[in-house]
Amino acid sequence: MEKSDNSEINETDPHWSKEPSESVSRCHNSISHELENLDRTKFTSTKPYVLMSNEADRLVFPGNQARTADKLNAAFKKRLAAAKGKSVKPVANVTSIYAFTPARYTKYLATGAPDLAAAPAESGVGHQDFTVQQMQAWINMLAFAAEFGPLSAEEVSTFTAGTPYLNTDPGWRPSELKYNK
């Protein structure tokens, strides 16, 4: 769509049309199809999941991770019920860990306003922003799960112990998402 010099739509321009072009329509249809498929995961993977999220991620709410873990566990319980005592694959194979924020991390100016130029908190804020120790604990859990299978609560606690601001309670849950209630 081209615009005239006065920044208004020039309907006399031969390149302008009220109807979208065929390629634009195909693009919109493709995007619509992709969006429809976003939540079609069947949660049947035999690979272990070790999910890690920041407690105060600005872009992806930590409740998304809890929702994914709930769906994985529900799929496992459904397979377990259908198996009637037989072995079930994949096993319950999801672990969720969260990087917490320090109790106080916002720096303030003498005026009382937040200092936006100050260094960010060392943990729990930002998007996909983890410390080296937190990433190492996550990688170690993934490697262990890949070799030995799903992690127990005790194993999760062992891997996260001593890692600053990484939760050691595998049962901890963030705030629920509104549409998840």
As given in the structure block, the two tokens for residue 63 are: 């409740």
Q: 13: closest CA among 1, 22, 24, 21?
A: 1
**Rounded Cα–Cα distance for residues 102 and 38 (Å):** 34
Query: What is the structure's pLDDT at 25?
Result: 54
- For the entire predicted model, the pTM comes to 0.64
As given in the structure block, the two tokens for residue 30 are: 């493709």
> What is the tens place of the pLDDT at every residue in 128-141?
788 889 999 999 99
126, 103 Cβ separation under 8 angstroms:
no
Q: How confident is the model at residue 31 (pLDDT cuts 50, 70, 90)?
A: low
| Three-state SS annotation for 131-151 | CHHHHHHHHHHHHHHHHHCCC
> What is the tens place of the pLDDT at every residue in 112-127?
888 888 777 777 777 7
As given in the structure block, the two tokens for residue 103 are: 């109790």
> What is the average per-residue pLDDT within 42-47?
72
Q: Is the pLDDT reported for residue 84 higher than 80?
A: yes
Query: What is the structure's pLDDT at 9?
Result: 56
Non-local CB neighbours of 150 within 8 Å, separated by 6+ positions: 48, 91, 92, 93, 94, 95
Give me the percent of the chain exceeding a pLDDT of 70. 72
> What is the average per-residue pLDDT within 79-96?
76
Task: Please report, for the chain, the start and end positions of each structural domain, with discontinuous segments joined by +.
Answer: 49-180
Q: How confident is the model at residue 145 (pLDDT cuts 50, 70, 90)?
A: confident
**Rounded Cα–Cα distance for residues 105 and 121 (Å):** 5
Give me the percent of the chain exceeding a pLDDT of 90. 8
